[in-house]
Structure 1
Amino acid sequence: MAPEPLVRLDAVSKIFPGGGVGLDAVDLDIARGEFLTLLGPSGCGKTTSLRVIAGFESPSSGRVLLDGRDVTSLRPFDRPVNTVFQDYALFPHMDVAENVGFGLSLRKLSGAEQAKRVGEALDMVGLAEKLGARVSELSGGQRQRVALARAIVCEPRVLLLDEPLSALDAHLREQMQVELKRLQSRLGTTFVLVTHDQTEALSISDRIVVMNRGRIEQIAPPATLYDRPATKFVASFIGTMNLLQSRFVGRDGDRLRFAAGALPLEATSETGEAPGEGSMRTIGVRPEDLLATTEAATGTAPVRVSSIIFHGRTLRLHAELGQGIPVVIDAPRRAEGFQFSVGDVAHISLRRGANCPMLPG
């Protein structure tokens, strides 16, 4: 028997005034101690889900359960949940210690106990030396850490993070991703993060919930989402994926053989579906799973290069695979035999052992 989830959304829907659908009968279980990320484009329902868990939004139908208890009608401050907001929501007239201890001041704790817990929380986020500093004296990264300390000092069962890193520059954002994961592992608290940044989600999550138009498209660990997306939306939203309309030409054991124009492909089916001979399916191919050379050979297909983009260790080729079919290829900058310019013809093939999912629809 599976363990009882810490948080459960049970057929939760949210219809806003005017008829806009925020959530459409969402079912979601969040395990104890996991780092779960709600990921998707603007308007997909991820922030609405977070606000429903926090109690800032009431569902139009369905239930919110915490540790098996129905908390749907409870006010936010009656739930063992804390939220870190995108703008941090710190009090500018208070110093760091007062900001962190604000929630504790509403509880029946001695001054010594409050001071002890504030100090421990600031130590956890690496800001023990900023105890008496004013908020205006802090950098963006330090303010984010203060907001985290204020959220964890009250020892919530669930910590909700509403795009807390979006205002940081790229380098600091990456640093804070590492710090968030480290802090979550140390505390063992359940973290639920909302982001539209797929790189962030893939970097720090135990599981990712990909949402679209108020519904869940797929829930899986990062590697599963990347390697085995369940829908075209997930395939196109997580990383870069070539979605190639391909003709089924046969099978070799559990490998399904297709042809996208002149390009031979091998794919796998998560559902076990066996397409009919000559039927068309969408095959997902990652850019790094395509190899490009200057020489034609068996198993290759010609493409014309339309642009080359510098990506650090790799070069990204945008090309056309017959009849104007767009295709993206990633290749090492210094790969032998890889000398292309815009307008050149390259010959591409599928990397041996590549995992190419056959996508529904």
Structure 2
Amino acid sequence: MAPEPLVRLQKVSKVFPGGIVGLDGVDLDIAPGEFLTLLGPSGCGKTTSLRVIAGFESPTSGNVLLESRDITGLRPFDRPVNTVFQDYALFPHMDVAANVGFGLSLRKLTSAEQAKRVREALDMVGLADKLRARVSELSGGQRQRVALARAIVCEPRVLLLDEPLSALDAHLREQMQVELKRLQSRLGTTFVMVTHDQTEALSISDRIVVMNKGRIEQIAPPATLYDRPATRFVASFIGTMNLLQSRFVGRDGERLRFAAGELPLEAISDSGETPAAGDARTIGVRPEDLLADGEAGEGTAPARVSGVVFHGRTLRLHAELGEGTAIIIDAPRRADGSQFSVGDVAHVSLRRGANCPMLAS
């Protein structure tokens, strides 16, 4: 039996002045101890959802529950929730210890207990040696760690992270993703993070909530979102996906057979739907699930290469099938240096066993 959710949003809507819809009837359960990420483009409702949980925004309708208690009307500082902001919001005139201990200073704790918890929090984020450093002396990554320490020192039930890594360079950002997940696992605290960076979300989340236009498109673990996107929006937002208009040809056991022009495809349907013969459907195909060969063969379709992009061990081929359909293929880079060039014809086929979803609109 699944545990009772720690946080629950029930039919939460938020309409801003001017009739702008921020959230549209959102239902969301967040489990104790999970790392949940709200993902989507600008204006999708992810930050509004975070601010509603934190209490910085009041929903127009609906309820926010924490451990089955309705906290919709509680002020932010009355909720056992802390937030790490995008700009860290540190006090420049205070040293690291004072920044981390600021929230504790509002509680009935002895000075010795406050100092002990500050040291423990800084040790968790690897900054025990920066206790008396000034904020201005710290790097971006160190400031981010101080902000995390300040949030966890008060032992919140839920830690909210609003694009916490967006100000870091690429190398440090990847390093901090690992540190963030390590810290969450060590604490066992529920983390809810907002990001527009799909790679970041896929790297460290237990589950991802993909949002669009104030609504939830899909909630699933990273692998499920990547392999089995439920809608065209999720398929196009998570990774790179070819969205191929195809006609239904027949069924082979659980595999549905389609054709995108001359290209034979096999798909899966989570809904169990079997289309009628000749019906059109959108089939999602990842570039790595397409094979490209210099010679025609059974199950292949010709595609003229219009662009070649270096991707390390692979080359990303931008090509066009005979009927003008654009297609992207990730082809291994050959050790002998022979590979496709612009203008070449690649004979494309579907990798055996590929799980291509039949997508809802």
User: Do they fold alike, i.e. is TM over 0.5?
Assistant: yes
Q: C-alpha distance in 2, partners of 1:7/1:335? A: 52
Q: Counterpart in 2 of 1:253? A: 253
Q: Counterpart in 2 of 1:326? A: 326
- Residue type of the alignment partner of 1:260: A
Q: C-alpha distance in 1, partners of 2:304/2:310? A: 18
Q: Counterpart in 2 of 1:342? A: 342
Q: Counterpart in 1 of 2:151? A: 151
- Residue type of the alignment partner of 2:304: R
In the TM superposition, what are the counterparts of 1:179-218 in structure 2 within 5 Å? 179-218=179-218
Q: Counterpart in 2 of 1:304? A: 304
Q: C-alpha distance in 1, partners of 2:163/2:324? A: 39
Instruction: Give the gaps of 5 or more residues in structure 2.
Output: none
Mark the CA change 1:339 to 1:58 in structure 2 (over 3 Å): closer, same or farther.
same
- Residue type of the alignment partner of 1:40: G
Q: How many residues are treated as equivalent by the alignment?
A: 361
Q: Counterpart in 2 of 1:272? A: 272
Instruction: Give the gaps of 5 or more residues in structure 1.
Output: none
Q: Counterpart in 1 of 2:176? A: 176
2:52 pairs with 1:52: yes
Compute the displacement of 1:323 (Å).
2.1
Is the 8 Å Cα contact of residues 158 and 192 (structure 1) preserved in structure 2?
yes
The DSSP-based 3-state class of the residue aligned with 1:179 is helix
- Residue type of the alignment partner of 1:314: T
Following TM superposition, the consecutive aligned residue runs of length 4 or more in structure 1 with deviations greater than 3 angstroms are: 335-338
Q: Counterpart in 2 of 1:69? A: 69
TM-score (norm 2): 0.99
In the TM superposition, what are the counterparts of 1:71-86 in structure 2 within 5 Å? 71-86=71-86
Q: C-alpha distance in 1, partners of 2:226/2:320? A: 24
Greater CA drift, 195-204 or 1-10: 1-10
The DSSP-based 3-state class of the residue aligned with 2:277 is coil
In the TM superposition, what are the counterparts of 1:28-177 in structure 2 within 5 Å? 28-177=28-177
- Residue type of the alignment partner of 2:6: L
Is the 8 Å Cα contact of residues 8 and 29 (structure 1) preserved in structure 2?
yes
2:359 pairs with 1:359: yes
- Identity among equivalent pairs (%): 86
Q: Deviations over 1:175-231 (max 9, x none)?
A: 000000000000000000000000000000000000000000000000000000000
The DSSP-based 3-state class of the residue aligned with 1:239 is coil
Q: Deviations over 1:19-69 (max 9, x none)?
A: 000000000000000000000000000000000000000000000000000
Q: Counterpart in 2 of 1:224? A: 224
Is the 8 Å Cα contact of residues 10 and 62 (structure 1) preserved in structure 2?
yes
- Residue type of the alignment partner of 1:49: S
- RMSD over equivalenced CA pairs, Å: 1.0
Q: Counterpart in 2 of 1:263? A: 263
TM-score (norm 1): 0.99
Compute the displacement of 1:2 (Å).
3.2
Compute the displacement of 1:143 (Å).
0.2
Greater CA drift, 259-268 or 336-345: 336-345
Q: C-alpha distance in 1, partners of 2:342/2:282? A: 28
Q: C-alpha distance in 2, partners of 1:339/1:269? A: 35
In the TM superposition, what are the counterparts of 1:228-247 in structure 2 within 5 Å? 228-247=228-247
